[in-house]
Structure 1
Amino acid sequence: MNSRISFQDVVKTFPLKGAEFTALDGVSLDIADQEFVTVVGPSGCGKSTLMSMAAGLQEPSSGRVLVDGRPVTGPGPDRGVIFQQYALFPWLTVRQNVEFGLKLAAVPTQERRRRAAEAITLVGLDDFADALPKTLSGGMKQRCAIARAYAVDPQVLLMDEPFGALDALTRVQLQDQLLATWSREKRTVLFITHDVDEAVYLASRVVVMAARPGRIHRVVDVDLPYPRTEEIRLSADFRQIRNAVWTSVYHQESTAPAA
């Protein structure tokens, strides 16, 4: 497998009340080029820490995180990061928000405008390109954040519960739009979620994490065809995979060493 992202025996510890808390313990995972992988698990299992290290926002205590075979040493334009919080500049329009990363990268004005316009069209916000964030719904704000990430043309998208704050209907709509965009653009996606149905619906593989210490409990292959549809979501095959992931998340046997 040609790995785009590789976690190699990653350990992450934090100081906690004079002791050491192990957030991740010996995590190894390879994500292939153009693969869509979701990560799900109980609270405190290190999902967001895993993504932060791939983004270059945190460093492993030991082990390595590689992107395209190179160690991650910090943030970079090859990785687009999308959080649950939209993190839009309220004084900038949708177009200006989407152009922001390109402006920082000193992309010439004409090229910047072209790439921003393509990204805005990709997420269906053409009619709102000159709107300020305060006039947008939550779903529109998240689409703007996704467009901003796409505009810098990253090969990897790192998404940390991006739909977690949205209502159920908007969430499903954005799941479908994200998959439609991914099917055209074929980025490598690492998607963190606490929602089992979302994890199964989006991914080709679901990584189930276990907590305290954070580690990979199970990897579940999602043998369902793309494009994903409402019929697939309601199918017996979907329910079977969803139940397997649900059981792995919420009925884990403790594998922690005895005290």
Structure 2
Amino acid sequence: MTPKISFRDVVKTYELKDTTFTALDHVSLDVADREFLTVVGPSGCGKSTLLSMAAGLLEPSAGQVLVDDAPVTGPGPDRGVIFQQYALFPWLTVRHNVEFGLRIASTPAPERRERAERAIELVGLGDFADALPKTLSGGMKQRCAIARAYAVNPQVMLMDEPFGALDALTRVQLQDQLLTTWSQEQRTVMFITHDVDEAVCLASRRVVVMAARPGRVHAVIDVDLPYPRTEDVRLSPEFTRIRNEVWHAVYHQNLTTTAA
């Protein structure tokens, strides 16, 4: 089966004042159709660079990035991108923020309204459709950003630490909400995080652990946990075992980076 996203021997370098910095060094990785893949690693390992290439926001220095076996040449409506910053228009309501991408695509008004309302209900913001961003909590703003991405019906969701700025309780609540949404929509998701517990909880099949300087795939760890990912699952011995395996893989690389 053709992977939904494929990184083939990808290299990314930057020219600095007196040297060349290698952000990614010959990274090869496939993301299956409808997989929820999480990527975790120490700061500077290139995981956000990898996601930006899949989004078409950066070009590789060498190698290829493919979606549905076609080279990525730039951003496209088939890929929804969600960053840590909410990037909402403060003068637009939740509904109009969610409709924004559909307006750009010249979607007819009745269809635009229907798709936006469905996305808003999907993330649990139905009672706040006419609210302005300034009246929303951080978690609600991020849910609005997720709804905006879903409204344009992308095949792929690319998420770069979307819950990184939230408090612990809100973060867990949004993880649960995201998994509920994913189970209903079954999009392909590539999710970047620094949080090991988050990586294990969200991954449908695998956690990819990146190593830094230069960025490369250090380990791919299988996740065989039942759905739904309830509190009992989070507290289970199997979750702890997988969490510890991922933690040790990340921590070892962090020690290596610090000593370098």
Shorter-chain TM-score bucket reads over 0.9
How has the CA–CA distance of structure 1 residues 118 and 25 changed in structure 2, closer, same or farther, with 3 Å as cutoff?
same
Q: Percent of counterpart pairs with the same letter?
A: 79
Cross-structure match for 2:226: 225
Q: Give the Å deviation of 1:252.
A: 3.2
1:239 aligns with 2:237: no
Unaligned runs of 5+ in 2: none
Structure 2 partner of 1:150: 150
CA distance in 1, matches of 2:227, 2:218: 26
1:82 partner letter: I
Whether 2:69 is the aligned partner of 1:66: answer: no
- CA change 1:253–1:177 in 2 (3 A) is closer
Alpha-carbon distance in structure 1 between the residues aligned to 2:82 and 2:161: 8
RMSD value over aligned CA atoms?
1.4
Q: How does 1:146-225 map to 2 (within 5 A)?
A: 146-203=146-203, 204-225=205-226
Query: 1:141 offset after TM fit, Å?
Result: 0.0
Summarize deviations over 1:189-213 as a string: whole Å, max 9, x none. 0000000000000002100000000
Corresponding residue for residue 110 of structure 1: 110
Aligned length: 257
The letter of the residue matching 2:195 is D
**1:48-127 correspondence runs (5 A):** 48-127=48-127
Q: Normalising by the residue count of structure 1, what TM-score does the alignment of the two structures yield?
A: 0.97
The alignment's TM-score, normalised by the length of structure 2, stands at 0.97
How much has 1:255 moved relative to structure 2?
8.9
Q: Please give the alpha-carbon distance, in whole angstroms, between the structure 2 residues aligned to 1:244 and 1:166.
A: 25
| Corresponding letter in the other structure for 1:29 | L
Residue of structure 2 equivalent to 1:11: 11
Structure 1 gaps, min length 5: none
Report the alpha carbon displacement of residue 17 of structure 1 after superposing the two structures with TM. Answer: 2.1
Residue of structure 1 equivalent to 2:44: 44
SS in 2 for 1:107: coil
Structure 1 distance, partners of 2:64, 2:113, is 37
Post-superposition offset of 1:253: 9.1
> In structure 1, how many angstroms separate the alpha carbons of the residues matched to 2:53 and 2:254?
27
Query: Residue 253 of structure 2: SS of its match in structure 1?
Result: coil
Query: Structure 1 runs of 4+ off > 6 angstroms?
Result: 253-256
Deviation, structure 1 residue 254: 8.7
Q: Could you tell me whether the CA contact under 8 Å between 2:212 and 2:253 is conserved in 1?
A: no
Deviations 1:97-123 (A, max 9, x none): 000000000000000000000000000
1:250 maps to 2:240: no
In structure 1, the partner of 2:139 is 139
| Structure 1 CA distance for aligned equivalents of residues 127 and 75 of structure 2 | 32
Cα deviation, 1:19-39, whole Å, max 9, x if unaligned, reads 110000000000000000000
Amino acid at match of 2:80: G
- CA distance in 2 between counterparts of 1:236 and 1:21 reads 41
